[in-house]
């Protein structure tokens, strides 16, 4: 097995590791994009395979048995190091990494900047479909990175608990609505997931010092437990990754997110 890689890996560092047998690079772009260009040897994984739904709730966590089959079929074993990327800012890739974490697998990295950084900075690309290596994945599910609706309801009045709403300001305020009820969870702090990206550096995450300052100024501090959510826990998977990467000791993602909370009549909502 290769030495432990950082949670956030740069394109130039990944390029030097592409021949490593214990490494699997997963492409979570659209299949049409993958067929046109992708990182050499990268295995395509459709985002829909790592989420499920129960209308009107979307973005739920699939059953472990299903995920075992998906991960095994895409070349992931329990000792495999996964590097994930996409072409839309990291939401798809981070959702995969959060799902791996929920299944007890912690050997993973996010490609900083994804396909944008890789291609715009001149790294090699391929159109050849990669065949996954044979692998067997055994899940060890854990609730450590996962927040349920019931868990959030229990914690709402705790002083060391807060929520990061990664949706747009119009969704947060209730001006835009994609569920039965508009608004946000009481006490939630709004910071659009786009605010953690550096558009001048090919959609990489902003530098650590900027992110830490940005979060601390809003009250998203390391002494608190922080739950991240959006509409389905797609955008907020990236914000969960940011917290995890920055060393926040207690951070969870909320599968279903506002598509769950906002479609229930027994959950409190705030309009602003």
Cα–Cα distance measured from residue 15 to residue 96, given in angstroms and rounded to the nearest whole number = 21
Query: Locate tokens 């299944």: which residue?
Result: 103
Q: Are strands 197-198 and 204-205 parallel, antiparallel or unpaired?
A: antiparallel
Q: Which helix (H) or strand (E) holds 101?
A: helix 91-102
Is position 230 annotated as part of the catalytic site?
yes
Half-sphere exposure of residue 97, counting CA atoms within 13 Å on the CB side? 34
Write down the number of H helices and E strands in the chain: 10, 13
Q: Are 115 and 33 in contact (CB under 8 A)?
A: yes
Q: Which two tokens stand for residue 18?
A: 């592409």
User: Which residues are bridge partners to 226 per DSSP?
Assistant: 162, 251
Query: Locate tokens 């074993």: which residue?
Result: 77
Cα–Cα distance measured from residue 255 to residue 223, given in angstroms and rounded to the nearest whole number = 23
Query: Locate tokens 């939630």: which residue?
Result: 188
Cα–Cα distance measured from residue 83 to residue 169, given in angstroms and rounded to the nearest whole number = 31
The alpha-carbon radius of gyration of the chain (Å, integer) is 18
Cα–Cα distance measured from residue 237 to residue 233, given in angstroms and rounded to the nearest whole number = 6
Best CA proximity match to 252, nearest among 151, 157, 160:
151
**Of 29, 125, 230, 251, which residue is the catalytic one?**
230
* Residues that are catalytic: 230
């Amino acid at each position: 097995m290769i030495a432990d890689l950082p949670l956030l890996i740069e394109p130039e560092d990944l390029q030097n590791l592409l021949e490593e047998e214990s490494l699997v690079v997963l492409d979570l772009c659209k299949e049409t994009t993958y067929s046109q260009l992708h990182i050499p040897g990268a295995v395509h994984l459709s985002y829909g395979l790592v989420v499920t739904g129960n209308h009107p709730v979307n973005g739920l966590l699939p059953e472990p048995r299903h995920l075992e089959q998906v991960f095994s079929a895409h070349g992931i074993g329990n000792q495999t190091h996964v590097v994930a990327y996409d072409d839309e800012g990291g939401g798809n890739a981070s959702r995969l990494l959060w799902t791996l974490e929920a299944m007890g697998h912690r050997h993973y990295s996010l490609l900083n900047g994804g396909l944008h950084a890789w291609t715009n900075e001149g790294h090699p690309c391929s159109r050849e479909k990669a065949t996954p290596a044979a692998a067997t994945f055994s899940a060890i599910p854990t609730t450590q990175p996962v927040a349920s609706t019931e868990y959030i309801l229990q914690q709402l009045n705790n002083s060391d608990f807060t929520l990061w709403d990664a949706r747009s300001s119009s969704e947060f305020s209730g001006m835009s609505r994609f569920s039965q009820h508009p608004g946000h969870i009481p006490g939630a702090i709004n910071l659009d997931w786009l605010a953690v990206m550096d558009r001048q550096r090919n959609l990489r995450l902003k530098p650590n010092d900027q992110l830490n300052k940005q979060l601390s100024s809003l009250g998203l501090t390391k002494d608190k437990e922080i739950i991240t959510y959006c509409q389905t826990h797609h955008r907020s998977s990236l914000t969960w990754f940011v917290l995890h990467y920055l060393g926040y000791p207690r951070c969870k993602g909320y599968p279903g997110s506002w598509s769950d909370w906002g479609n229930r009549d027994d959950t409190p909502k705030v309009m602003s």
